[in-house]
Chains A and B, each alone.
Chain A
Amino acid sequence: MYCTLPAPDSDMATNVLMPALSPTMEQGKLTKWLKKEGDPVKSGDVIAEIETDKATMEVEAVDDGLIAKILVPDGTENVAVNTPIAVIAGEGETASSEVAPGSEPATPEPQPTPAVPMAPAAAPKGVPAEALPEGTAMVTMTVREALRDAMAEEMRRDETVFILGEEVAEYQGAYKITQGLLDEFGARRVVDTPITEHGFAGLGVGAAMAGLRPIVEFMTFNFAMQAMDQIINSAAKTLYMSGGQMGCPVVFRGPNGAAARVAAQHSQDYCAWYSNVPGLKVVVPYTAADAKGLLKSAIRDPNPVIFLENEILYGHSFEVPQVEDHLVPIGVARIAREGKDVTIVSFGIGMTYAEKAATELEAQGIDAEILDLRTLRPMDTAAIVESVKKTGRCVTVEEGWPQCGIGAEISARLMEQAFDYLDAPVVRITGKDVPMPYAANLEKLALPSVAEVVEAVKAVCYR
């Protein structure tokens, strides 16, 4: 939308900086300049268009002057936020080709970096080879694209599948997950709702009881708290209460957990909450391949499925098998990395900490096995026990709160089923036991860190 001049009250040249336009944006593409060098600009003029993976936005001048120099040409990809992209000279000043001096903010404060870097993670090592036929072609795509493809494929396959939620149709999704679906399937099957979560979640449950297969998108799961009663009391319990007559094949999906700097009411991890409830299935994919395969399975599942995505992962790229109908079964964990010294159990965005920690640990001579749970309910306890039998040690990693968290559950299951194999107590790495703070430094502290995982692993390995 706009930029970014430190706007000194003098006539000196100022840099136009690549603006940050969303909580998670770190870079973008400079699509097009709408002004040339030498053009005069007035405050409010659109001078360029930039593109992020979510949207195309316009950069507006915030001061009057003329474009002295364009520093980043049309079509440049991956321009980091705050890179000078042009110089605007004040009125009456001659165009200078130098980057304007003194135009940095008075004190360059540490930039609020998102707690989890955006760099695409390496492709998972441990995709279960047995699941893919020899020579299966792979294609690189983002989690965002994988989710969209999953929905589109299922909507083509089954006429009863439809999607319902805020901004899913004309806006193409608040996080662009439903991009293109309105065009292909029309307004009958891609339905924009008013902001009435409790109402439309209940409506989705009713439609599912009546035999349709709704995908209910919550703009984020923070807003699903408005709808909690319908999810738990209506969706999760009706099959049981009806003695098995009245199933509810609905998928509730959307981003869960912390994004970046959006503070307490928009940054909660609901993994433990939903996984507490019998009658629900709870899926938390990490890779694009799993996001696609698990979402397709969730849509076909005859039960209510809570499908917890993560905004920061939406832009991450992974290899996805190019097969006709890529399904990943619900309830089966994946060994993401084989190792012998310790088992790190995680899921969703927690995997980013686990993978980085494993790389660091390898350098220190510790060979970690990483188990990506993928589904929290039903939980693949057998896979956890199997791995711990081999390693004798376990560290769990999640962004959610510690009390009654997923790590607490895993610890209990290991006590019950693998006590004799444990060589050290299980250690939990979790988000801190506080609401999410806004300040950049506090937010970082509130989330788990790679260093905490490394330390925990060393502790259980007595190193």
Chain B
Amino acid sequence: MAPSDTARSKPAPRKGKATPAQGPSFTREEELEAYRRMLLIRRFEERAGQMYGMGLIGGFCHLYIGQEAVVTGVMMVAKEGDQTITSYRDHGHMLACGMDPKGVMAELTGRRGGYSKGKGGSMHMFSKAKQFYGGHGIVGAQVPLGTGIAFANRYRGNDNVCFTYFGDGAANQGQVYESFNMAELWKLPVVYIVENNRYAMGTSVTRSSALTDFSKRGQSFNIPGEQVDGMDVRAVKAAAQRATDWCRGGNGPIILEMQTYRYRGHSMSDPAKYRSKEEVQKMREEHDPIEQVRQRLLSGKQASEDELKAIDAEVRATIAEAVDFASHDAEPDPAELWTDVLHPAGAGL
């Protein structure tokens, strides 16, 4: 992959608030696929929340409810070999990457059938097979890692891109900007996806950020960016398509600010007093990513209530199976405490 040496023509960034009246449209198949994938994440997360309350899941558990359209839309343009890396709010990303809900749920309950054999928990899961690189608990740390994965793509000369997700809060960490500089300097194929859900724990974007337009955060490095309605899966997919084209074309990194919202508290132990109930309610009622697709399918007569109910039932069955597995699988063997500290091939002495 050779970066073009002609002057770069940047994809025209869309300015201001997204949600164009005339958004990109989906075929019936795309609508149904998006519906199914988002619903899987929603139902999975709802059950994870319940299981936390019952004490079957411990520690921190950060739910993705409300943000489903972001990872779903992006994964609709991913191709074989593209990589994904994100923070601790990672269950949705794993499901979107095609990881097995049983293995994810079993990791949440700390069982041996979990993706990390029960050793990682909610925040730390990985899948080489699905090119999912975690699952990181330290805010911002995944950004240089994603940049390094993109470096490896360029080094190998393949045309894969690394989708590197981080939050609006993480966007203030210094290592993000160190990464931006290197990524642009070396034209690395990385799509930086800022999931701007308006809050970092209890701190709203306006209380933490001097510049709240995250799509502009790459400007001083010459990295283009755009703001996207992250509640509309069609807009997400279209933006992701432009971004991956840009990266695969050897133009270097790009930033997508996904404007989204988390319905639940930051983690299970967040009383969420920093925002009003009305604010949450309004987002749920007027912008819910799943409801939007549902309404379009029904009003456009592209699907019947019964068809959607059947998808619902299928998704519920998948989740029920995952829950069942995750509640009955055995805890890890005590001997696992000592394994995986060093790679067996280099663990001598």
Contact = CB atoms under 8 A, between A and B. Distances in A.
Nearest to B334: A445
Interface stretch (A122-130, A298-306, A383-391, A429-437): A429-437
B148 interface: no
Contact of B118 (A7, A54, A226, A437): A437
A144 to B, nearest CB: 15
A226 B140 CA distance: 10
Nearest to B167: A195
Contacts of B314: none
Contacts of A55: 269-271
A112 B110 contact: yes
B337 A446 contact: yes
Given A20-B53, A196-B173, A265 B334 contact: no
B55 A111 contact: yes
A106 B324 contact: yes
Interface stretch (A87-95, A165-173, A324-332): A165-173
B270 to A, nearest CB: 7
A226 B110 CA distance: 28
B327 A107 contact: yes
A194 B121 CA distance: 27
Secondary structure type dominating chain B contacts = loop
Contact of B332 (A167, A432, A442): A442
A170 B53 contact: no
A107 B328 contact: yes
Contacts of A189: none
A4 B54 CA distance: 6
A261 B59 contact: yes
B138 A265 contact: yes
Contacts of B287: none
B77 interface: no
A266 B120 CA distance: 11
Interface-central residue, B49, B55, B208, B324, by most chain A CB under 10 Å: B55
A38 interface: no
B54 A440 contact: no
A438 interface: yes
A21 B58 contact: no
Interface stretch (B196-204, B242-250, B301-309): B196-204
A231 interface: no
Interface residues of A, number: 64
A222 interface: yes
B268 A22 contact: yes
A223 B141 CA distance: 11
Interface in B104-147: 107, 109-111, 116, 118-124, 136-140
Contact of B271 (A56, A195, A439): A56
Interface in B276-335: 324, 327-328, 331-332, 334
B170 interface: yes
B317 to A, nearest CB: 10
Interface residues of B, number: 58
B260 to A, nearest CB: 18
A41 to B, nearest CB: 15
A198 interface: yes
A263 B337 contact: no
A257 to B, nearest CB: 14
B173 A226 contact: yes
A254 to B, nearest CB: 15
Contacts of A57: 269, 271
A441 B332 contact: yes
Contacts of A174: 201
Given A1-B265, A167-B202, A195 B173 contact: yes
B173 A437 contact: no
Interface in A167-189: 167, 170-171, 174
Interface string B47-61: 001101111101110
Contact of B50 (A4, A82, A194, A262): A4
Nearest to B284: A44
Contact of B202 (A109, A171, A194, A264): A171
Contact of A17 (B54, B138, B274, B327): B54
A170 B201 CA distance: 11
23 contacts: A1-B268, A1-B270, A2-B50, A4-B54, A6-B54, A17-B54, A54-B269, A105-B56, A106-B327, A106-B328, A109-B327, A166-B203, A261-B121, A263-B121, A265-B124, A434-B341, A439-B118, A440-B331, A441-B331, A442-B110, A442-B337, A445-B337, A446-B337
Q: 7 smallest A-B Cβ distances: which pairs?
A: A438-B121, A261-B58, A22-B269, A261-B59, A19-B53, A439-B110, A439-B118
Interface of A: 1-7, 17, 19-23, 25, 54-58, 62, 81-82, 105-107, 109, 111-112, 166-167, 170-171, 174, 192-196, 198-199, 222-223, 225-226, 259-266, 432-435, 437-442, 445-446
